[in-house]
């Protein structure tokens, strides 16, 4: 680059190839690099989206195939081992076991309901205590402000 110096007369002559050009050139190159990076990132995002869509399609196909295989396997198992007849005693044992599970789960549910009621009660008392504390704090603040106001009036009365 060629440089032309400004004369000593103090004029503001333009310098070519000087600091301004270097800065502007650097800014232009930086902006161009940023644009290139943005374009590269956009291409990468598009590629990832395309790959994602392909993988989703493959996953859907695999899920469908898995479902078909499971149904086929179920049919094979049913063909190999037909349902055996159960005796009334086996049914009775099964029913009693299920009734026991229902009782246990009902008891657990009742315990959970009781715990929820206790928590709601605790929450109500906590809210009430919080409101009482807040009301007490406001009351104390009102008293403090009244006291200050009275002293301000007393000071004004003594000054006059």
pLDDT tens-place string over residues 61-109 = 888 888 888 888 777 766 765 555 557 777 788 788 889 989 899 899 8
Please return the burial class of 145, using the count of CB atoms within 10 Å of its CB with bins 0-12, 13-18 and 19+: exposed
Exposure string for 44-76, b = 16+ CB within 10 A, e = fewer: eeeeeeeeeeeeeeeeeeeeeeeeeeeeeeeee
Percent of the chain residues topping a pLDDT of 70 = 76
Q: What is the pLDDT of residues 27-46, one digit of tens each?
A: 677 778 888 888 888 888 88
pTM for this one? Answer: 0.34
Mean pLDDT of the chain: 78
């Amino acid at each position: 680059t060629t440089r032309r110096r400004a004369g000593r007369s103090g004029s503001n002559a333009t310098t070519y190839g000087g600091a301004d050009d270097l800065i502007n050139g650097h800014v232009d190159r930086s902006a161009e690099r940023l644009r290139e990076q943005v374009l590269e990132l956009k291409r990468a995002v598009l590629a990832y989206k395309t790959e994602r869509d392909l993988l989703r399609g493959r996953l859907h196909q695999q899920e469908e195939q898995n479902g078909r295989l499971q149904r086929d396997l179920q049919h094979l198992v049913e063909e190999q081992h037909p349902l055996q007849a159960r005796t009334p005693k086996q049914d009775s044992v099964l029913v009693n076991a299920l009734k026991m599970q229902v009782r246990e789960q009902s008891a657990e549910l009742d315990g959970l309901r009781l715990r929820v009621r206790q928590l709601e009660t605790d929450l109500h008392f906590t809210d009430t205590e919080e409101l009482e504390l807040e009301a007490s704090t406001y009351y104390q603040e009102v008293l403090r402000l009244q006291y200050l106001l009275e002293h301000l009036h007393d000071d004004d009365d003594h000054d006059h």
